[in-house]
Amino acid sequence: MGVDLRQVVAGILTLAMFVMLGNMIKRDHFDSVEEKFPGSGRDTLENAKISKEGLSKKNSGPWKDDGQELKPCWSKPSEDVEQTEGYVLFSLTNGPEYHVSQIADAVVVARYLGATLVLPDIRGTKPGDERNFEEIYDVEKFISSLDGVVRVAKERPGKLSTRNLAAVKVPNRVTEDYIVEHVEPIYRSKGNIRLATYFPSVNMKRIERKSSSDSVACLAMFGTLELQPEINEVVDSMVERLRTLSRKSNGQFVAVDLRVEILEQNGCQGGDESGTKSCYNAQEVASFLRKVGFGKGTTIYLTESKWDSSLDALKDIFPKTYIKDGIIPADKKSKFLDSEGSEFEKIIDFYVCSQSDVFVPAISGLFYANVAGKRIASSKTQILVPTDISDSSASASNFITHYVSKKNHLAYSCLC
């Protein structure tokens, strides 16, 4: 009896198909946690309807739900203050992580003095890098949020000159006692002051001591600053792009504050006496993320502006690692990335880090502290502080920032 060659070939192909199917099923079942992520099916981001809550309950990966929704504990002060004829001028400097604190101090001082607050200009770290407030922030939102708290002038009055304007420095989180002793006498004498906030330390921890200015400071810090529409659209577009690139993790991504020029400074060259480091490089961050359960398909956003070869160690382990240049809309690149100043880049980093599903501060400091505050205000409390891990099965929850785990961030004094 002859053998039909076509039947033999068909039989081999059928057997091969069954073997391939079996391997696919086995791989789907038994891939390691490092390689498999919640929502790693073939559905597109648009078709993925599984909620974050469902994912976190069903999977043991590092992605967690947002924290409990918080609402403002403060209320606008009801009592009136005696209005005076003078003005308080100030500038926003050094980036958005400083702006939050500078706004709060200026509003508290102006409120106490009964003075009119002049809308600030914005100054970058480079000489000549100056912008108007409305180039970054929503002016009408700022003014309306302070209605009944302090008067706000959009422009500096022409009658002001250096002769009737005194420069005054105040510490961050200025107190009423400090204003009474160091600011009010100068204001009464000169009639107008130009305020500058200095930072004796990076202290955003909650203080139990109560003050009548607390509600004003909370309002200023968490209720006044919103991005102007064009920048807000750019940030939203970049966040959406990162979510689209994160289809295998249900649109979730990690933002890491990692800037090479800061890592190269002396303060980042080693740990302190307690053995705790203040900065982590790309290799250390990659190892940390891997050990707490993030796999190679994780999308990562870095705050570094230009790609540096030292970042290759992170990209080798997490190929989907991006900086601003790779995800910003092409028609916005020349304005926001190629301009002479870096203020736009800092703003973008601050707000992308505030909206990511996970934030990893590889550098300690005010950027970390104030991004943490903004995230707490929006219930995005998965902030993981890197450290050296010897245990390969470490849980991400063990590395949640003390700002959240101990609820000792200033934000918890303002939001509840």
| Amino acid, res. 166 | A
User: How confident is the model over 378-395, as a mean pLDDT?
Assistant: 86
What percent of the chain is predicted at pLDDT more than 90?
63
pLDDT at 264 over 90: no
pLDDT at 110: 97
Structure tokens at 5: 């060659």
C-beta neighbour count of 36 within 10 angstroms: 17
Tell me the residue length of the chain: 416
CA distance readout (Å), 343 to 31, 185, 308: 44, 35, 20
Higher pLDDT, 24 or 96: 96
Task: Give the closest residue to 256 by CA, choosing from 363, 329, 392, 397.
Answer: 363
Task: Give the closest residue to 192 by CA, choosing from 85, 77, 285.
Answer: 85
Cα 312 from Cα 184, distance rounded (Å)? 54
Task: Give the closest residue to 207 by CA, choosing from 180, 182, 172.
Answer: 172
pTM: 0.82
Structure tokens at 314: 């992170």
Q: Share the mean pLDDT of the chain.
A: 83
Q: Please name every residue paired with 202 in a beta bridge, in sequence order, or none if there are none.
A: none
Q: What is the pLDDT of residues 129-179, one digit of tens each?
A: 789 999 999 999 999 999 999 999 999 988 887 777 999 999 999 999 999
Phi and psi dihedrals of 201, rounded to 5?
-160, 165
263 contacts: CB under 8 Å, gap ≥ 6: 279, 281, 310, 362, 363
Phi and psi dihedrals of 244, rounded to 5?
-65, -35
Q: What is the pLDDT of residues 28-76, one digit of tens each?
A: 322 222 222 222 332 222 222 323 333 333 343 588 888 888 999 888 8
Q: What is the pLDDT of residues 192-236, one digit of tens each?
A: 999 999 998 877 888 776 777 899 999 999 999 999 999 999 999
Cα 117 from Cα 375, distance rounded (Å)? 28
Higher pLDDT, 382 or 387: 382
Q: What confidence category does residue 389 fall into, taking pLDDT thresholds of 50, 70 and 90?
A: confident
Q: What confidence category does residue 24 fall into, taking pLDDT thresholds of 50, 70 and 90?
A: very low
- Would you say 216 and 81 are in contact if contact means Cβ atoms under 8 Å apart? no
Region label for 41, one of left (φ > 0), alpha (ψ between -120 and 50) or beta (otherwise): beta
Higher pLDDT, 125 or 413: 413
Task: Give the closest residue to 323 by CA, choosing from 348, 337, 308, 304.
Answer: 304
User: How confident is the model over 392-405, as a mean pLDDT?
Assistant: 87
Structure tokens at 61: 């990966």
- The alpha-carbon radius of gyration of the chain (Å, integer) is 26
Crossing angle of the two packed helices 366-377 and 214-223, in degrees rounded to 10:
90
Crossing angle of the two packed helices 343-355 and 229-244, in degrees rounded to 10:
50
Q: What is the pLDDT of residues 305-358, one digit of tens each?
A: 899 999 999 999 999 999 999 999 999 999 999 766 688 999 999 999 999 999
> What is the DSSP annotation of 257-303?
E--HHHHTSGGGSS--TTS--SB--HHHHHHHHHHTT--TT-EEEE-
* H-only helix segments in 95-228: 96-113, 139-145, 176-178, 184-190, 214-223
Cα 136 from Cα 93, distance rounded (Å)? 12
Three-state SS at 113: helix
- Would you say 111 and 213 are in contact if contact means Cβ atoms under 8 Å apart? yes
